[in-house]
Structure 1
Amino acid sequence: MKNKALLKAQLMACFSDVFETPLINEIAEHSLHRFYNKGDIVVDLDMEMTHIPIIINGLVKVTREDIHENEILLYFLEEGDTCACSIINCISKQKSIIRATTEVRAEIIEFPVNKIEEWMIKYKSWRVYVIDSYHHRLEELLVVIKNLAFKNLDNRLYAYLSHQAKIRHTEDLSITHREIATDLNTSRVVISRILKVLDQKGKIKLSRHNIHVFGS
């Protein structure tokens, strides 16, 4: 865990164009600073929310379960993002309805829930940040709904791989067919078949433990 001065300096480097300096000082003063390994759960289903994450470095996948306890991919959190669903849960005083899991090693600060409304009143930049988070997440969910309603699985899979390449900043994805199947709520066999088709069409290149995405 970093001392407050180092954390404040890092927050200034990351958020000086987003938050006022007094707000950055408060975030550094009141937040927990943690590192998570790949696959760690940051927020879990039915968790009593005491802190909300802001991603400093890394990538976090946000999912929820359907009535059959299958995981449904909602969105990913990248550097500078917070979890809009968690904020909504806290404001409405509900337990968590999502699970947030690290895709890679991640550095995260976690601010106490009792600061959400206080900072909304005190800082315009915080209000803008929270509203923008809601808006961005809503847009992502609308894309998910559009893809489910209007795209066949071949197109959904390629769109998913392209998005993964974009948010991971690499065209080479070390991701298993089973992980993709879970995110797209289908079977590994179906994903493997479609990946071979995409490979034959020249949209991706399959190799052992790697998927290279062209045109991402």
Structure 2
Amino acid sequence: MIQDLKSYYGYLFEDELLNEIAKTATPRSFKANTTIIDVNSYITSIPLLLSGAIKILREDKEGDELALYYIEKGDTCAMTLSCCAGLTKSKIKAVAETDIELLMIPKEKMSEWLSKYKTWQEFILQSYHSRLDEFIEAVDTIAFLNMDERLIKYLKDKAMIIGSDEIIATHQQIANDLHTSRVVVSRLLKSLENKGEIKLQRNQIKVLNV
């Protein structure tokens, strides 16, 4: 495991910390569309994402969801850090956007390494900063963009995250992520196709101007 860790995190962490991660972390893998963290669940481990992407969603009382941001390779989730530190229930839902591999670090190690390793401290602070920026961007998108602008941004962001301009998703799945109706999404997708922004196929969308 230590060689894999060095290839992913050798530029961030010193060998001593890498060795501790290798000894204490539990490797996990999840298939795409698998729920990793659910709303109101207690979080006992901190994830370090080795490959793939995770979608972070907010859920309302009726169970409707809104996609907030993605976690990519080399990232962790600020919400899990907060929940671990405060012993509170999760307020977000984390779903594997693609097949993923990650390491789960026991929450007890988070505070221990914060005082022990400056590189870990910098990594955690940078993670908070990055997630805050992404959360602000999500709020700005909802507040200031029309739904057609939100839709094309969503498609381009998703294409970048998965590393492909071909997105496999139903209109209902997209509607769920954007917290709107399938009818609205279908109408706007057809409009984007007419404008030459995308090409529609069965349960697949090709983004033409990534």
Return the offset for 1:97.
Answer: 1.5
Q: 1:86 aligns with which of 60, 80, 83?
A: 80
Q: Which residue of 2 aligns with 1:144?
A: 138
Q: Which residue of 2 aligns with 1:49?
A: 43
Q: 1:158 aligns with which of 152, 162, 171?
A: 152
AA of the residue aligned to 1:150: F
Return the offset for 1:56.
Answer: 0.6
Q: Which residue of 2 aligns with 1:11?
A: 5
- 1-side partners of 2:51 and 2:64: how far apart? 28
Q: 2:164 aligns with which of 158, 161, 170?
A: 170
What are the superposed Cα offsets for residues 56-103 of structure 1, whole Å, 9 maximum, x if unpaired?
111111112123331121211111111110101111111111111112
Contact 2:171 2:203 in 1 (8 A): no
Q: Which residue of 2 aligns with 1:62?
A: 56
Q: Which residue of 2 aligns with 1:110?
A: 104
What are the superposed Cα offsets for residues 18-71 of structure 1, whole Å, 9 maximum, x if unpaired?
111111111111010011112222112222211111111111111121233311
AA of the residue aligned to 2:67: L
Contact 2:49 2:103 in 1 (8 A): yes
- 1-side partners of 2:192 and 2:96: how far apart? 27
AA of the residue aligned to 1:195: L
Q: Which residue of 2 aligns with 1:188?
A: 182
- 1-side partners of 2:11 and 2:209: how far apart? 31
**Aligned partner of residue 179 in structure 1, secondary structure:** helix
Does 2:75 align with 1:73?
no
In structure 1, stretches of 5+ residues that fail to align are: 1-6
Q: 2:31 aligns with which of 23, 29, 37?
A: 37
**Aligned partner of residue 188 in structure 2, secondary structure:** helix
Contact 2:166 2:205 in 1 (8 A): yes
Aligned residues: 210
Q: Which residue of 2 aligns with 1:125?
A: 119
Return the offset for 1:209.
Answer: 2.4
- 2-side partners of 1:185 and 1:66: how far apart? 10
Contact 2:13 2:120 in 1 (8 A): yes
Deviates more, 1:110-119 or 1:31-40: 31-40
Return the offset for 1:109.
Answer: 0.6
- 1-side partners of 2:97 and 2:141: how far apart? 23
Q: 2:92 aligns with which of 98, 107, 110?
A: 98
Q: Which runs of 4+ in 1 moved over 3 A?
A: none
TM score, norm. by length of structure 1 = 0.94
Q: 2:19 aligns with which of 25, 37, 48?
A: 25
In structure 2, stretches of 5+ residues that fail to align are: none
Q: Which residue of 2 aligns with 1:3?
A: none
Q: Which residue of 1 aligns with 2:197?
A: 203
AA of the residue aligned to 1:157: L
TM score, norm. by length of structure 2 = 0.96
AA of the residue aligned to 1:68: E
AA of the residue aligned to 2:112: E
